[in-house]
Amino acid sequence: MVLADLYPFIKATHVGLALLSGGLFAGRGLGVLLSATAPMAPWVRRLSQVIDTALLGAALLLLWILRINPFATPWLLVKLTLLVAYIVFGTLALRRASTRTGKALAFVLALCCFAVMAAIARTHDPMGMLRMMGL
């Protein structure tokens, strides 16, 4: 068996982990905005790190199998740029922003980045949602 034979499993794992990661972030962000302590508990933070590490591993395997250079593929380059923005907004939303309003704004922006990344991944087009709407 070669690695390419595992492509469907790796892709499904990547998609599942992306949904799990986004869902966990959304839950943690809401919890932080509601002043709960559980979203920042060490075990929750570790779980998030494990999921995100596995997600990155699956993404790298997919790139390897498909022999894709993400910096030469427009839709992947846009998705990676949005990933950086998602991480920045996510850290602001969960701990770095000093005010509740700042955390809320960063949380909404992070969720927007996540939604656009999902649309880009689905369409393989840097225009993402606009292509999904037929524009």
pLDDT digits (tens, 9 = 90+) for 14-59: 999 999 999 999 999 999 999 999 999 999 999 999 999 999 999 9
Structure tokens given for 17: 């982990």
Say what the pTM is: 0.92
Helix axes 42-66, 7-33, angle to 10 degrees: 150
Higher-confidence residue of 109 and 134: namely 109
pLDDT digits (tens, 9 = 90+) for 116-134: 999 999 999 998 877 777 7
pLDDT at res. 135: 65
